[in-house]
Structure 1
Amino acid sequence: MTTKANDCHTIGGFYGVNGKKLQRQYRDYLSEFKDWKDKPHAKEWLIFPENIGRCLSIDETALSKGELYTIITNKSAKGKKGAIVAILAGTKVEPIIKQLLKIPKSLRDKVKEITLDMAHSMKIIAKKCFPKAIQVTDRFHVT
């Protein structure tokens, strides 16, 4: 048995169905995307407080077309399910802090270590949002 993912066009081809129509049908009716509670703000921020762990990482990344995002991950999830704690548009300190402070303080206080690069903005975010965490400089950013 194969575990490779197939797109709607491939699956449609198996059953003689137009792949584009299958994709639209899935998006509009089967996936419940239209009713997703986070949809109104999903382009700006997504927060998953249930994924917070003792050790987090924070970094910025460009996903596409120069769009910068700040991403916070739970290191113990090792990139698998439960790894994403927050995805926030941009890298400006104040808007990111505003969203992260929506996470209950009791959960933020559980963070004991946060790995980050040497960007001053990331240090401020880590200090304000995870005050009990030790800041560790990511070894890939040290020359």
Structure 2
Amino acid sequence: MGISDLIASFLQESLDESDGGVLEVQRSDLAQRFNCVPSQINYVMSTRFSPEHGYIVESRRGGNGYIRITRVRMDRQTLLMHVVNSVGGELDLASAKAILSNLTTSGALDKNVGETLLACMGDRALGAVPRQTRDTVRAEMMKQALIHQLG
């Protein structure tokens, strides 16, 4: 079991024991506890406790900084719209893979649809698109595909 898995398990167990599905922790305390850099904590937050997984993460940096994880339940449409609104103007391939994986795992997208979208957004499919503009094209493709899934 890797460090990310250990951190995620610890946070999940703590969240399960918390009142009301809300957990507040210090980033520095977590990093110290698991003997890792704070960016490792950030990685776990962004990959394991994302809205696609049913969580909202609020963060405050600085001396008294904290991370607040709230478990939420979103319906499929709300989740897809949240992803559409959070994609931004560019989307690299690794992020597209993570988003589609999270959406299929959560059941918001059918596995075959997720795999098809990933194939369409891959560098091989976008080979005719200049490398410097692929992330922009990929972002628009993701947004349009997810909006289409809403209909």
- TM-score, normalized by length of structure 1? 0.27
Larger radius of gyration: 1
Larger strand proportion of the pair? 1
Larger helix proportion of the pair? 2
- TM-score, normalized by length of structure 2? 0.26
Q: Report which structure shows greater RCO (CA 8 Å, sep ≥6).
A: 2
